Amino acid sequence: MFLMEDDELLINEIAPRPHNSGHYTIEACYMSQYEAHLRAITDMPIPAPSLELRQPAIMLNILGGEKPDDHLSMAQKALDVPRTSIHLYGKGPGSKGRKMGHLTVTAASMGEAESIIKPLLHAADVVSGKASGSATPSKAESGSIEKRSEVAVIMGSDSDMHVLAPGMGILDKFAIPFDCQITSAHRTPAYMADYVSKAKEKGIKVIIAAAGGAAHLPGMAAAYTSLPVIGVPVKGSKLDGMDSLLSIVQMPRGVPVATVAIDNSVNAALLAARILGATDQRIGRLVEEYASSSHEEVRKKDAKLTELGYKKYLEQM
């Protein structure tokens, strides 16, 4: 089956494809828009899973510039940018503003896709005349994609660092980029408010906040952002962390803060990963694998206990 869009020849197979087969007609979707259109107008079935997005993606048009081949410099630049697909429509010489093709960037998260596409946005501005400079990439620029942090880990004092370290280890294990900041709700309130209120525009999706004693940091963070906030109560020297736990969990109606067990930053990191994994397939798979490995670990211990009996088992602990 053949379709024409402007001067571009598009070939689409009408035979159904399993949505998990690994063969896709465009980068971000399980079924191309052209196949979906053909199925719709010919009254053929369109399985719902085939219409799902496979991964976050950003499309950028390739427009013509002042010279007939200006658009090719942008395509040339894209060759050096990872996870980028190039689609040129074969229209011949370009003219300023004419659509000559498009680029598609895919990534594990939208934040990463935005980082990847930055040099291409500059190249587009150079071709259109909105920016000066070269549209071809420098060696330093190509291949050096900065991952935007998706989690902010904040604490009121560096004494809380040892509590947060296991949770940050989980974020590292899942390759989730994160910021780590010391910002007190009491000693640096203005800085705390500024950092938290700007977190969302920087790409942060979840905030983990550890606090001991009066433990106001998680609640104050939640007051300055619409992002989900996970509070980690830190055990103090006086009340064994119960003061921190109750302070965090007893938030007023309308300002929610998720609260994990005292000193349990691992659960905070896992909860953050589950939140991100709801829309990020890579992280979602890692969460499932982590749960599966925990299941296997417990089953092995149970089998060992059954084999040895509790007395010998205790001797080996």
**CATH assignment at residue 222:** 3.40.50.1970
Same domain? For 232 and 200 the reply is: yes
**Within a domain: residue 283?**
no
Of 71 and 4, the structure prediction assigns the larger pLDDT to: 71
Query: For residue 53, what pLDDT is reported?
Result: 74
Same domain? For 132 and 162 the reply is: no
**Within a domain: residue 99?**
yes
Q: Of the candidates 147, 166, 182, which is a domain's last residue? A: 147
Between CA 220 and CA 42 the distance in angstroms is 57
**What's the mean pLDDT when you consider all of the chain?**
83
**Greatest CA separation found in the chain?**
83
**Within a domain: residue 11?**
yes
Mean pLDDT of 84-99: 89
When computed from its CA atoms, the radius of gyration of the chain, rounded to whole angstroms, is 26
Domain interval for residue 311: 289-315
Write out the DSSP string of 63-127.
E--SSTTHHHHHHHHHTTSTTEEEEE----S--TT-EEEEEEEE-SSHHHHHHHHHHHHHHHHHH
Q: Tell me: pLDDT of 292 over 60.
A: yes
Query: For residue 190, what pLDDT is reported?
Result: 95
Handedness of CA 71, 75, 80, 84 (dihedral sign): positive
Query: 3-state DSSP call for residue 30?
Result: coil
Mean pLDDT of 112-136: 77
This prediction has a pTM of 0.60
Number of domains into which the chain is organized = 4
Match 């950092």 to its residue by tokens: 195
